[in-house]
Structure 1
């Protein structure tokens, strides 16, 4: 790792836009050890078997007709940074197009540094990622596993590596099931994201767009938890509890960074979404809960997430 090389890349940020994405990637990689991808044949087959088994079990539990993405990668941290640079760039495009032109050199340095810090923190902590590649051209999806992080965190939590890896695989495949069951979901999330970020870039706050985006992501995370409860072939309360304890721990700076990156919001989405689907599934079963993916209008509203009976009354079985 080289802090000097990272700082130098940010300080030398150049180009016409408010963010130098090449410098973002260089700065993030400079302070992020890539980690080992020295997989044995047994471990490599383990990843493949986990995904195959997860697909079979999630299909059985959900009744959804879906397949896993063609792109399935076991990555190191640098691979993950490269894979997500384009996603970050697409998401930030409205800001780049409408951002302020005052002191562009200074703004570019600050923006480049901010993006590199975000990617650095995420690259060191992401375990798996189902990526519908929002805002990309075409119907693209990918499934990533960041092997060095899975290995490190399994050790920190003192849990069996193979079991932990399998748990991550099942969780990411549940997301593949959701997007497979709802082909419209990528476009829906993209439109809400574009609207919200475009408004921010123009100096406004589109509260409704962000509220709808949060409600949709809460449904995504909550339904995934519902499927996990039925699909995973082992008890995993201990894994969830240890992961939660890890998220709550750490030094104050780490907790602040996680909050700024919205990782606390993601946990809230898990919990709120799971509580919603627990009520819905108790009354209508998983098949009835799956009606949420029939069409965009079936997504729960922000108010319905806290009052599932309102959704049950609105959406026919």
Structure 2
């Protein structure tokens, strides 16, 4: 099979090394089942008239192009690149695109080969879980740039119209301002990946490396469980602490790099969407204040689900990454900040995100 690799052991001296494990590419997830599960479970969007929906879709499409122009002005990224449109979608379409993006992102993982029946059972279970998670997130995500989506995996910017409409009404802010504000965030993400040529492949390689490291055997996992439970209690239920401690040392090192990168990307986008200023988004201060409260809000069940799915950790990423970006931009300007995009070596570490002065001393 082309999807399998078998590496034979090579004798050294009088004794041969044990044969390497057979591996197979990609996660054992039934992606088709995930797609069908998400489509079945995702909730419909808030009620709206046909004319309201059409007006919103047209406005978001226009805002996406306008937003990227403003983001380029603020960041200095993307000069000479074409201004690309966004796809305005409903919740089921976003969930389907998210499944495709996850499949593409994790395709490079190399995991130990398992019997076909066991892989089928695992794949079905994982497909149901992935579909359920995406159905939940499908009611919350306002927009997303998928660097692996679209034609030939060249990237795709999605705006989820029902969620933008629902959030705008819940926050009671001007519709035109809010839609453009959301587009500013997603346009920043698109420029991060399109204007930084090495970032997409680096991100995919790190994901593949994290998933491929075989240090999650039962023995190591059980040995780490008591420490993880103690730390979970001490951290008052921070799910990210639990995730980190259940990883082995190699996985934890890769996870550190991934978390540092995603924290930078989210925080940078948050900084930019506000830095554009009231000249472009007149109610930006009100939107930010109310949106921050919304991020922290939700009922008990919703908060539990968000913690389990890592959404709470992502909220913390926004704040830490935005604070890092603001500190560096204030210290050396946006051109100086853009040194983070020079190479993987100039990216901040997790420790440096919390101590921007340390990054300045190392890189500048």
Secondary structure, in 3 states, of the residue corresponding to 1:124? coil
**Partner of residue 169, structure 1:** 183
Shift of 1:298: 1.0
Assess if the C-alpha contact under 8 Å between 1:192 and 1:213 holds in 2. Answer: yes
**Partner of residue 34, structure 2:** 24
In the alignment, structure 1 residue 133 sits paired with structure 2 residue 143: no
**Partner of residue 274, structure 2:** 229
Structure 2, unaligned stretches of length 5 or more? 1-26, 218-246
In the alignment, structure 1 residue 58 sits paired with structure 2 residue 68: no
Which of 168, 187, 197 is the aligned partner of 1:183? 197
Secondary structure, in 3 states, of the residue corresponding to 1:130? strand
Cα-to-partner distance string for 1:201-223 (whole Å, 9 max, x where unaligned): 86463111110011111111222
Write out aligned runs for 1:42-121 (5 A). Answer: 42-66=55-79, 67=81, 70=84, 72-93=86-107, 97-98=111-112, 107-121=122-136
TM-score (norm: length of structure 2): 0.73
Structure 1, unaligned stretches of length 5 or more? 1-16
Shift of 1:124: 1.0
TM-score (norm: length of structure 1): 0.83
Q: Distance in 1 between matches of 2:119 and 2:340?
A: 45
Between Structure 1 and Structure 2, whose CA radius of gyration is higher? Answer: 2
Assess if the C-alpha contact under 8 Å between 2:65 and 2:85 holds in 1. Answer: no
Shift of 1:68: 6.4
Which of 164, 173, 184 is the aligned partner of 1:159? 173
**Partner of residue 17, structure 2:** none
Assess if the C-alpha contact under 8 Å between 1:68 and 1:173 holds in 2. Answer: no
Query: Aligned residues, how many?
Result: 299
Secondary structure, in 3 states, of the residue corresponding to 2:77? coil
Q: What is the root-mean-square deviation in Å for CA atoms of aligned residues?
A: 2.8
Distance 1:178 1:108, change over 3 A: closer
Distance 1:68 1:262, change over 3 A: farther
**Partner of residue 4, structure 1:** none
Shift of 1:107: 3.8
Shift of 1:313: 1.5
In the alignment, structure 1 residue 215 sits paired with structure 2 residue 271: no
Shift of 1:126: 0.7
Shift of 1:140: 0.8
Q: Distance in 2 between matches of 1:120 and 1:315?
A: 42
Distance 1:110 1:160, change over 3 A: same
**Partner of residue 361, structure 2:** 313
Distance 1:34 1:223, change over 3 A: same
**Partner of residue 12, structure 2:** none
Assess if the C-alpha contact under 8 Å between 2:33 and 2:124 holds in 1. Answer: no
Q: Distance in 1 between matches of 2:203 and 2:120?
A: 33
In the alignment, structure 1 residue 302 sits paired with structure 2 residue 350: yes
Secondary structure, in 3 states, of the residue corresponding to 1:145? strand
Distance 1:179 1:100, change over 3 A: same
